[in-house]
Amino acid sequence: MSNRTSRVALGTFIGTTIEWYDFFLYGTASALIFSKLFFPSFDPLTGTLLSFATFGVAFAARPLGGVIFGHFGDRLGRKPMLVITLVMMGVATGLVGVLPGYATIGVAAPLLLVALRIVQGIAVGGEYGGAVLMAVEHAGERRRGFFGSWVQAGSPAGLILSNLAFLAVTQLPEDQLFSWGWRIPFLASFILVAVGLVIRLTLEESPKFEVALERAGRVSAPIVVVVREHWKSVLLTAGAYISTGVTVYGAAVFSLNYASTTVGFSRTQALMLITLGQVLALVAIPTFGSLSDRLGLRRVFIGGVIGMILLAFPWLWLLNTGSFGLALLGYCLLFIPYSAAYASMAAFFASVYDTRVGYSGFSLGYQLGTVVGSGLAPIIAAQLVASTGTVASVGWYMVLVGIVSLLSAIYLGRSRRGPVSVDAAPTGNSDAEVRVAHNDATRGD
């Protein structure tokens, strides 16, 4: 492991942790705070659904972020995009912390909240693909799973930080929590983004990307090439992701509200269940990332998806017991296969697209999957429980999307083309010259 690769792995992990802290912070607040502060004129169920809807709006914006930053990331480089998206995310999150509520400015409050959430969505939509490619493209061909998993580990790390921040402020008396306490975790983003900015400015550009540009030139319209030549891979990438998104956002956002309002856990207990489960995921993700380099990226990913299908109902059954110990066991069981799929996902998905259009292709496929798999999961789960009267409907929902992801992953693995070949000298600058080669990037299928 070179010092350069280690610095990139650490830098992408810390930067991504800060990004996901900001993103998950909103999800936690939407489950516990926003329905009362920004939608107080509605009944509790409608307020919760509207709060989850503002949470989900960011996911509709994420593909736009992927297209915008993917275009410039494939033309100008990965590093500048990671700096810009980090600043966007941090500033938007910090501004949520100074927003007045509905009681102060009326309907303008939720409208401003939605606007800032859209900025968050564009930022994280543009950041994720670049962070994965920076890590994977710096790594050796036989260590892509491990180094890609460190970007993935930023997700549970960010969720742990955001939950710990809310655990601290929820110890305040309720009137103080809803008047000013909830703002503190959001305002802390201004400090965290400054730390992340210093780290990301020290990263070096992806060497594989630089070699690809030197030997084959820039693609004038990367997204056009992706849509024309990789549209099947984009759709399969989106489908393969869905189960992972439903699992983590169902467990981290929907169940936070469900556990504290229906099962009978306190807000603190509900936050602790998710936080402790994510501590396990934080350890498991790099472990599965290393394992995927030995067993194969696709095999580990598919194994994780199958595990999420099989453990959906046991997780819900254990949660519904109302026992903290049994519920924690359920979260830990569910987060193990989730960690396997999430760890191997980065390098698996990244290897599908040519290097010169990799940022655009990876981002578009993944972010389209997040719209369906992540953004809609909390509101669909809440609506299913409200309409059926049983949480078993959420279990069937998780099983259904798991089957979609399983089939998508199988076909995605069979249709992979490998990254761009940089061995042949370029003959011009046309988009048609994006050539591919089956090489070590497809090993382990």
Name residues whose C-beta falls within 8 Å of residue 264's C-beta, 6 or more positions apart in sequence: 322
User: Where in the sequence is the domain holding 13, given as residue range(s)?
Assistant: 3-442
CA distances from 352 to 78, 80, 255, 297, 438 (A): 18, 23, 33, 12, 11
- Please answer whether residues 97 and 334 qualify as being in contact, where contact means their C-beta atoms are separated by less than 8 angstroms: no
Tell me the per-residue pLDDT of 245-295, one tens digit each, with 9 for 90 and over.
999 989 888 898 899 889 999 988 998 999 999 999 999 999 999 999 999
Extended beta strands in 344-407, E state = none
Confidence of residue 418 (pLDDT cuts 50, 70, 90): very low
Confidence of residue 431 (pLDDT cuts 50, 70, 90): very low
SS (H, E, C) 119-169: HHHHHHHHHHHHHHHHHHHHCCCCCHHHHHHHHHHHHHHHHHHHHHHHHHH
Share of the chain above pLDDT 70, in %: 88
| Sign of the torsion formed by the C-alpha atoms of 85, 90, 95 and 101 | positive
- The CATH number that applies at residue 184 is 1.20.1250.20
Nearest 5°: the CA angle 343, 345, 347 is 95
Tell me the per-residue pLDDT of 129-174, one tens digit each, with 9 for 90 and over.
888 888 888 877 778 899 899 989 998 998 889 888 988 998 889 8
Tell me the per-residue pLDDT of 99-126, one tens digit each, with 9 for 90 and over.
998 888 888 888 888 889 899 889 988 8
Residue 419 has pLDDT above 60, yes or no: no
Structural domain total, the chain: 1
Name residues whose C-beta falls within 8 Å of residue 430's C-beta, 6 or more positions apart in sequence: none
Q: What global pTM score does this model have?
A: 0.82
Tell me the per-residue pLDDT of 92-103, one tens digit each, with 9 for 90 and over.
999 999 999 888
